[in-house]
Structure 1
Amino acid sequence: MVTRDRWLDEGLAILREEGAAGLRADAAARRLRLTKGSFHHHFAGMPDYRRAVLDRYELRMLEAIDRVRAAIAELPPADAIAALPSLVSELDLRLDTAVRGWAFEASDARSAVERVDAERLRLLEDCWRPLLTDPADARAAALVPHLVAVGAAVAQPPPDAAQLAEVFALLARIAPAVRGAEAPSGRSGRALPAHS
């Protein structure tokens, strides 16, 4: 008997390849070589299936974030930031793109993306907070790799994992310079007003 997990995994695969429009019971049944009766055994229709696929997406993304957090937990702050590029493989850019597209039309998809993004930003802020005294600076520093990842998810053509790892490696190399940089205003990382 095909488990609910296989239906959900197939739903994620369809979502990754075709977007939310491709997420249909008949498409998943065809790919699994099953009848729709099996689908109805596990789900109370398409709305239930779509919610379950979104829940699976969110769970997978949060588990990936937790794996990154565990991998850097014992590292000194600068080393944790330097280690982030090697953990880029945890990102599933095609799936991220699909769910972000879905979020424009469905509030439950938007909510899932918001929760995943909040947790990703929390992890990144936790990395930066020991290095930057101003919480606003830590938040801004966390936004840089986050927005790079979001941009990479929607870029055409999308960067491959190696290219994205290079971008994150560059950010990690820049990080020590940012930490020690003090603008003449006394605020690190803040732009000075233009002089006439």
Structure 2
Amino acid sequence: MTPGRQRWLEAGVEALAEEGAVDALRIDRMVERVGLSTGSFYYHFQGMPGFKKALLAHLEEVQTAGFADLIAATPVDPGNAAHSAANLIETLAAARAGYRRPRLEAALRAWALTDPDAAHVQARIDESRLETIRAVWRQVTTDEEEVRLGALLPYVIAIGASAIMPPLSDDDLDRLYQRIISLTPPGASESETLR
């Protein structure tokens, strides 16, 4: 990717994150934000539809790759669901500044309500993130329904924390995740895990 194209895409992400709406993606505002010419914009994207398509692809990469790398680094204790959940939450809390962007999350989800391309991208982002979390739980239990629910619970809380206005604070999100840990049996056998 050329540096100019990268600058445009990063500016698009920042515009969505700061303004929380797809309306922030106007050529005149993007030109002002990036400090490059309108000609540069058209050179890289041939107009706003091309820019939005490229931005959605970029957002999908940004919203999934870093999350997957982060979760993959989480230590898992196959015999202890509560300990594994605590490790997962600790990993997420330590890296929160790099991945938790409530306004960007809300903007992309709002965009998905009105644009089929954005809806497809959002669905792939959600599925990728959920599969990443499910992979952690599969190391703890072989019960696929428990794996599914074990991934859904923290994910739905995180999405809800970004969707309410104002977005839930980091401290409140931490307390909710701690509550999840308290519901997970500490030394559960494989068949009892996540119940």
TM range (shorter): 0.7 to 0.9
Within-5 A mapping of 1:136-175:
136-175=145-184
TM-superposed CA distance for 1:44, in Å, is 1.0
Residue 84 of structure 2 is matched in structure 1 by 80
Give the ranges of 4+ consecutive aligned residues of structure 1 lying more than 4 Å apart after TM superposition: 177-180
SS at match of 2:125: helix
Single out whichever of 41-50 and 78-87 deviates more from structure 2. 78-87
Determine the structure 2 residue equivalent to 1:42. 44
Higher relative contact order (CA 8 A, sep 6+): 2
User: How far apart, CA to CA, are the structure 2 residues paired with 1:47 and 1:96?
Assistant: 21
- Counterparts in 2 of 1:123 and 1:179: CA distance versus 1, 3 Å: farther
CA contact (8 A) 1:81 1:127 kept: no
- Point out where structure 1 has 5 or more consecutive residues left out of the alignment: 190-196
Question: How many angstroms apart in 2 are the aligned matches of 1:68 and 1:173?
Answer: 23
Partner secondary structure for residue 104 of structure 1: helix
Q: Is residue 112 of structure 1 aligned with residue 121 of structure 2?
A: yes
**1:51 aligns to what?**
53
- Residues 23-76 of structure 1 deviation map (CA, whole Å, 9 limit, x = unaligned): 11111101123321121121111011011111111111112222223311x532
Q: CA deviation at 1:122?
A: 0.9
> Which sits farther off after the overlay, 45-54 or 132-141?
132-141
Deviates more, 1:84-93 or 1:102-111: 84-93
| Partner in structure 2 of residue 194 of structure 1 | none
Match of 2:104 among 95, 116, 122: 95
Shift of 1:177: 5.2
For the aligned residue pairs, the C-alpha RMSD in angstroms reads 2.6
Q: Which of 103, 111, 128 in structure 1 is aligned with 2:137?
A: 128
* Consecutive unaligned residues in structure 2, runs of 5 or more: none
TM-score, with length taken from structure 2:
0.83
Contact 1:16 1:98 survives alignment (8 Å): yes
Q: Distance in 2 between matches of 1:2 and 1:64?
A: 20
2:9 aligned residue: 8
Larger Rg: 1
Number of matched pairs: 185
Provide the rounded CA distance (Å) in 2 between the counterparts of 1:2 and 1:129: 40
Deviations 1:121-161 (A, max 9, x none): 11222222343442112211211111111111211111122
Residue of structure 1 equivalent to 2:32 = 30
Q: Is the 8 A contact 1:121 1:146 kept in 2?
A: yes
TM-score under structure 1 length normalisation: 0.83
Query: 1:64 aligns to what?
Result: 66
